Amino acid sequence: MVSKRLTLALPTFAVMCLVFGSAVEVCSSQVRERGAEQILPPDIFEELFEDFNAELGPALSEVPPPVRSVDRDRRPSRFEKMHRTELRKFAPIVIEAKPSIVRLESDGELVAFGTVVRKDGYLLTKASELEGHADVMCQLSNGENYQPDIVGVSSDHDLALLRISPRDLTPAKWAATSPTIGSLVVTGDETGRPLASGVTSVERRVLIDTNQAVLGVVPQPARAGIVVESVAEGSAAELAGLEVGDRIVKIDDTKIESVNELTNHIRLHEPGDAINIHIERSGRTRVLEAKLGGRTLLNPFQQSVAETSRFGSEPSRRSSDFPQVIQHDTPLWPEQCGTPLLNLDGEVVGINIARGNRIESYAIPADVVQTVVSELLEDKE
């Protein structure tokens, strides 16, 4: 019995040791050999990094395709914090808060949740989870359904302000202060059911991971300037209206005559910067304005950690670059974002904005959320 259990545990053990870099790759019989191989002299390391730099990929290129987590199909054992006997303890808190929680569905599928922020029909949700969904319906805790309008979007915070027709909603009861490390938190749905609980892992901070500006084209050298060979979906290039076959001749005031010049010019910028791209299309000159996207540069070791970190979780499509987040360890699914994050007093300390990986979820602090709401409402007028 004992030996059988141990054998079963072995393959996973060897692969998933948790030091980052060298030992993540530790595998079966090659422990010592691999360990030695992986001590790369600094110059090789730099080269690897440079190759990686040179690629001008699409803005979201480092998000691997979603893999269904084993935890979707697994029932928690009675000793786990996710077991219903444990979660049930949080029910009174969630039941109290449920009038401020809405469910957003498309074709009968859960897309995200939303948090009521104003009595007169306004709610917030995670903007990027709405992408690609037509006819989103909003279900309230009383079972009523409404079709929401999108009033505004804050791409910095990935928050979308929606409005539905009722004028007698129950807005979130905001907490006056942000949770400190060790504060318990709970996330629930519009029926009053606790979905998952967690603890505050890190106090609020800036979470900016991307450090390289990205346009999102694959450029080809041509006789004069460079020609766009492909445009990445959802990239800054696509949003700016760049098309395959366009000839890029100038960016801002800089003439572009080679792929290197393009790459170097983009790299001078920060993610979020706006640039003017002068192009020729069908013999005519046009100027397109693009707001550069960003991506996270990871060295090969960080990359391997990033992959391990996904185990058991399904990260949100957008899980980084927020001006302010509270990090907590609640095991959320991406579609459970948009929910209010509640403290033990039943107050909303923030809005769940992303599942990062197996160890972390993020919420935007309550005061930041309220500022975003005011700004979006001002923009509307």
Partner 1 sequence: MNYERFGNTVNRATVGLLLLVGLATTASGRGIAPADDLADLRAREAKVKETLAKVTPAVVSVTDRVGAGSGVIVSEDGLVLTAGHVLLTDQEVLTITLWDGRTVEAKPLGRNLNVDAGMVQIVEEGKYPFVPIGETKTIEEGDWCIAIGHPGGYQLGRTPPVRLGRVVEKADWMLVTDCAITGGDSGGPLFDLDGELIGINSSIGPSVAENRHSRIDEFTESWDRMASGEAWGRLGGVGPPDRDSAYLGVHLDLDAEQAVVLNVIRGSAAEDAGLEVGDVILQLDDVEIDSSQQLIDQVAARRAGVPFSLRILRNGRGMRLRGRLGRYDDIE
Amino acid letter, residue 18: L
Listed ranges 128-136, 144-152, 239-247, 351-359: which one lies at the site for partner 1 (CB under 8 A): 351-359
Among 114, 158, 360, 366, binds partner 1 (CB under 8 A): 360
- Determine if 38 is a binding residue for partner 1 (CB under 8 A): yes
Least gap, CB of 372 to partner 1 (angstroms): 22
- Determine if 17 is a binding residue for partner 1 (CB under 8 A): yes
Contact in structure between 104 and 130 (CB atoms under 8 Å): yes
Question: Residue 137, Cα to own-chain centre: how many angstroms?
Answer: 23
Question: Binders of partner 1 among 284-323, rule CB under 8 A?
Answer: 301-302, 304-305, 308-309, 311-313
How is residue 23 written in tokens? 């030992």
Report which secondary-structure segment, H or E, holds 198.
strand 194-207
Least gap, CB of 113 to partner 1 (angstroms): 20
- Token look-up 């192009």 returns 279
Among 49, 52, 61, 91, binds partner 1 (CB under 8 A): 91
Question: Binders of partner 1 among 119-178, rule CB under 8 A?
Answer: none
Listed ranges 86-94, 128-136, 252-260, 261-269: which one lies at the site for partner 1 (CB under 8 A): 86-94
Kindly tell me which of 14 and 377 has the beta carbon lying closer to partner 1: 14
Burial of 346 (0-12, 13-18, 19+ CB in 10 A): middle
Question: Residue 20, Cα to own-chain centre: how many angstroms?
Answer: 22
- Determine if 244 is a binding residue for partner 1 (CB under 8 A): no
Contact in structure between 164 and 138 (CB atoms under 8 Å): yes
Question: Residue 224, Cα to own-chain centre: how many angstroms?
Answer: 39
The strand pairing partners of 274, in sequence order, are: 291
Question: Binders of partner 1 among 327-346, rule CB under 8 A?
Answer: 327, 329, 331, 344
- For 270-288, letters b (16+ CB in 10 Å) and e give ebeeebebbbbeeeeeeeb
Question: Binders of partner 1 among 173-212, rule CB under 8 A?
Answer: 180-184, 198-203, 205-206
Kindly tell me which of 331 and 338 has the beta carbon lying closer to partner 1: 331
Least gap, CB of 85 to partner 1 (angstroms): 8
Question: How far, in Å, CA of 129 to CA of 316, rounded?
Answer: 8
